[in-house]
Every structure is written in C-alpha cells, then in structure tokens.
Amino acid sequence: MKIRLNGKECITEAKTISELLEENNIKVEFVAVELNKKILKRTEFDTVKINEGDSVEVVIFVGGG
C-alpha cells in the first residue's frame, strides 16, 4: 500500500507501526512516531493499523555530548 513516510511517498507491506519500523530497520526504543498528526505511545505501535494514504513521521533520537 502507498503511505507517506517522513514526507516521502513509499510502498509498504506493513500493517502496523511496529511492522513498518522493522521493515525500515528502525529500533523502537529510540523513536517517536506521529500518525496522521497524532503522536502515538510506544505501547500502541503493535496495535495501531496503517492504512492506504496515511502519513507517518518517525523521529529518531540520537545521543551525543
């Protein structure tokens, strides 16, 4: 299905946020996810479904000093 991931159109087989992150090799522990302008809790990643045309923004946290 077609979605927008971080502003770019992409095609995915993922059905949940967790599957989408795994498909893109993104570790769940270090991200915040917004689905259609709603920030999701990490506990929702396994249950929230992705639909055709959805917009997903993933912010990856990087440590530094």
Cα–Cα distances (Å) from 35 to 18, 54, 59, 63, 64, in that order, read: 12, 7, 12, 24, 27
CATH of 2-60, one of 3.40.50.2300, 3.10.20.30, 3.30.1360.40, 3.40.50.300: 3.10.20.30
Q: Quick one: pLDDT at residue 63?
A: 78
Q: What is the pLDDT of residues 17-46, one digit of tens each?
A: 999 999 999 998 889 999 999 999 999 999
Q: Band of the pLDDT at 61, cuts 50, 70, 90?
A: confident
Please report, for the chain, the start and end positions of each structural domain, with discontinuous segments joined by +.
Answer: 2-60
Q: For 45, how many CA atoms within 13 A lie in the half-sphere containing its CB? A: 17
Q: Quick one: pLDDT at residue 57?
A: 98
